[in-house]
């Protein structure tokens, strides 16, 4: 196996200071803080690894499949995969540079050991349909290690059978099978439905415990040499990919890690980008705002494409763009807010009978927001197409006609109330952000028609309706009393999503209205350096944390309105809110700093990259 340098405890921390080990985390009721988790990805699925060596989340064969390791949502019945020292330890972690491969170093009184975790790529030889490797290397002394695999298919709702194939323990349920393959990691045994083992490391020793999955196809059991070759290939491929990225500026480390998170959220068979890796992690502990984010949202389209292009990820940008056009064709000219990762439109929401993270229920699979009217999505789609064109992309006449039909729908329907970007479950209303993005949709259609990319027969109509959108926003969605664009027409409530109108080019960024709005949102929604999303009711009980992406939107808006130094200072403070390995969740509790909501959250990392790139460019400008 290749030499990847000194273990983390002997290297440097993510922030560049000297790394230090921390005490082993303590679980309460079987749960750890969400900040404790790192993520592994392979373009098909994502695993979450806790600081104590437990993998508490993994869905196979795909990211949006039912999880078979889901202790994150139900420690008693969800299933997990643990590897850790038997005796007391301290721990330090990092990602191997430029990769999604996690290194965890455990220090005990008798010695130290490092665990390297990866969801491996298929490589050059026949291998399992899915593979997770946990490689254990002795660093100093001798350390007694124990491992345990508790497979619970279907979020723990399916009956699991344990058996052996060629002497290898295998858990099965119907056509699903997961083999547990130890190499120099002790003799596996079955205890209370778990597959377990123990061994002792010495300096220089190497062991592996691998999970190999099959779903409706033959189960492949690799050799030790195959495992090692695939692990090395995975490290090489991650470094090859990350080495091509354009990550420059004062926050390049955070941008690189965010880019790697984004890459792991890209579903490689289709090019779709998942919003997050998990479902139903709560926005408030014990609350009901628990949603399935394992879908791709149209609202993130322009952010996603723009970020991929900015990073130099042209193949991923093109794949995502064409996935988006294919998925939206299925409901044309109407847009759903979200689509499945395979491009399908159905996302039926159901409730699972599981405990929920720290007793936060309901636990949902599927997302009923797919049936909502969210008019802002049309602006995001058209802006995404515009970015594609600006980057040198082409549109054939059929696509141009489709987009013209989308523009016609916006011109006809922008006056309707909708559910808005935040997918409220109260009565629809005329959300300011939605109307701003309808203006964006018509503006981009007008621009592309002027270039001959869309039929121009209705161009003057689009211009007229775009002007009407702007007039509606200026006359009914700005409050002189509050000094801000507001959440909805006739309201004095604030909403951080209106900042996206500024970032999408609505209005004049140097205008007094925009400067006042940025100040009012910071003042009225600010929770320290973070922002809550909005004020006012939304049809749901309970509160939530501060929405991470909104704070980065604020930083970008500050820069756009000429406050570059303040924007840079804010980005400095925001990137420091990541966890020890550089990840962000959907929300953060502004009082405790605890992560809330699904993770890793793509929009949080997209917003980080976007803000860092724009502020860096303005800092460098003459």
What CATH number is attached to the domain comprising 189?
A: 2.70.98
CA dist 354 and 368 (Å) reads 19
CA dist 102 and 36 (Å) reads 13
Residue 158: inside a domain: yes
Residue 558: inside a domain: no
Which pLDDT tens digit goes with each residue over 17-57? 335 788 888 999 999 999 999 999 999 999 999 999 999 99
Residue 525: inside a domain: no
Residue 196: inside a domain: yes
Residue 527: inside a domain: no
- Find where tokens 């509790």 sit: 589
Residue 109: inside a domain: yes
CA dist 95 and 112 (Å) reads 18
Six-digit token string for 192: 């209370």
pLDDT in the model for residue 25: 87
Residue 386: inside a domain: no
DSSP output for 40-61: EE-SS-EEEEETTSEEEEEESS
Which pLDDT tens digit goes with each residue over 365-401? 999 999 999 999 999 999 999 999 999 999 999 999 9
- Partnered with residue 351 across adjacent β-strands are 364
- Asked if 296 and 339 touch (Cβ cutoff 8 Å), the reply is yes
Number of domains the chain is built from: 1
CA dist 467 and 275 (Å) reads 33
Q: Which residues of the chain have pLDDT under 50?
A: 2-3, 9-18
CA dist 56 and 543 (Å) reads 26
CA dist 488 and 472 (Å) reads 11
Report helix, strand or coil for 601.
Answer: strand
Residue 278: inside a domain: no
Distance set, CA 354 to CA 127, 320, 358, 362 (Å): 33, 34, 11, 8
pLDDT in the model for residue 124: 79
Containing structural domain, residue 152: 8-221+234-242
Which pLDDT tens digit goes with each residue over 127-166? 999 999 999 999 999 999 999 999 999 999 999 999 999 9
Sign of CA dihedral 348, 353, 357, 359: positive
What is the largest distance, in Å, between two alpha-carbon atoms of the chain? 78
- Partnered with residue 212 across adjacent β-strands are 131, 179
Cα 117 to the chain's mean position, in Å? 19
Q: What is the pTM of this model?
A: 0.96
């Amino acid at each position: 196996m290749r030499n990847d340098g000194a273990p983390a405890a002997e290297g440097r921390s993510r922030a560049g200071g000297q790394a230090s080990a921390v005490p082993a985390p303590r679980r309460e009721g079987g749960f750890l803080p969400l900040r404790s988790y790192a993520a592994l990805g392979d373009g098909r699925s994502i695993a979450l690894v806790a600081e104590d060596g437990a993998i508490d989340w993994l869905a196979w064969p795909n990211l949006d499949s039912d999880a078979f390791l889901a202790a994150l949502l139900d420690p008693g019945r969800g299933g997990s995969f643990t590897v850790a020292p038997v005796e007391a330890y301290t721990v330090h972690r990092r990602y191997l540079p430029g990769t999604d491969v996690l290194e965890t170093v455990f220090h005990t009184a008798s010695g130290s050991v490092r665990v390297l975790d990866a969801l491996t790529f298929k490589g050059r030889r026949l291998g399992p349909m899915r593979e997770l490797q946990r490689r254990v290397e002795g660093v100093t002394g001798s350390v007694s290690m124990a491992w345990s695999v508790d497979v619970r298919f279907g979020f723990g709702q399916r009956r699991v059978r344990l058996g052996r194939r060629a002497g290898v323990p295998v858990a099965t349920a119907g056509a699903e099978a997961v083999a547990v393959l130890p190499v120099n990691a002790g003799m596996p045994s079955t205890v209370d439905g778990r597959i377990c083992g123990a061994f002792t490391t010495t300096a220089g020793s190497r062991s592996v415990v691998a999970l190999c999955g099959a779903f409706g196809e033959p189960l492949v059991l690799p050799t030790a040499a195959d495992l090692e070759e695939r692990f090395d290939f995975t490290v090489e491929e991650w470094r090859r990919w990350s080495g091509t990225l354009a990550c420059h500026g004062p926050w390049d480390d955070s941008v690189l890690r965010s880019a790697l998170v984004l890459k792991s959220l890209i579903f490689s068979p289709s090019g779709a980008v998942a919003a997050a890796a998990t479902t139903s992690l709560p926005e408030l502990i014990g609350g009901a705002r628990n949603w399935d984010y394992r879908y791709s949202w149209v609202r993130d389209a322009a952010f996603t494409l723009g970020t991929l292009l900015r990073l130099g990820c042209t193949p991923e940008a093109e794949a995502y763009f064409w996935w988006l056009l294919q998925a939206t064709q299925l409901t044309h000219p109407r847009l759903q807010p979200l689509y499945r990762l395979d491009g399908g439109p159905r996302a039926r929401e159901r409730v699972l009978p599981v405990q929920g993270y720290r007793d936060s229920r309901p636990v949902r699979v599927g997302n009923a927001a797919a049936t909502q009217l969210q008019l802002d999505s049309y602006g995001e789609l058209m802006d995404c197409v515009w970015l594609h064109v600006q980057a040198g992309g082409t549109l054939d006449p059929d696509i141009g006609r489709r987009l013209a039909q989308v523009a016609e729908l916006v011109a006809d329907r922008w006056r309707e109330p909708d559910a808005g970007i935040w997918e409220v479950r109260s009565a629809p209303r005329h959300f300011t952000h939605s109307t701003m993005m309808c203006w964006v949709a018509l503006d981009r259609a007008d621009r592309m028609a002027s270039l001959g990319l869309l039929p121009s027969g209705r161009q003057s109509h689009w211009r007229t309706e775009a002007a009407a959108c702007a007039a509606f926003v200026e006359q009914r969605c700005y409050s002189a009393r509050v000094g801000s664009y507001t959440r909805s027409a006739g309201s004095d409530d604030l909403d951080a999503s209106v900042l996206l109108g500024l970032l999408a080019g609505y209005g004049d960024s140097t205008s007094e209205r925009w400067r006042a709005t940025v100040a009012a949102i910071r003042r009225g929604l600010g929770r320290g350096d973070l922002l809550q999303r909005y004020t006012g009711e939304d049809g749901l009980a309970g509160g939530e944390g501060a929405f991470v992406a909104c704070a980065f939107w604020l930083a970008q808006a500050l820069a756009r309105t000429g406050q570059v130094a303040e924007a840079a200072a804010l980005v400095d403070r925001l990137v420091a809110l990541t966890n020890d390995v550089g990840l962000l969740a959907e929300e953060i509790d502004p009082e405790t700093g605890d992560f809330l909501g699904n993770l890793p959250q793509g929009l949080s990392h997209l917003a980080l990259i976007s803000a860092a790139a724009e502020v860096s460019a303005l800092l460098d400008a003459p």
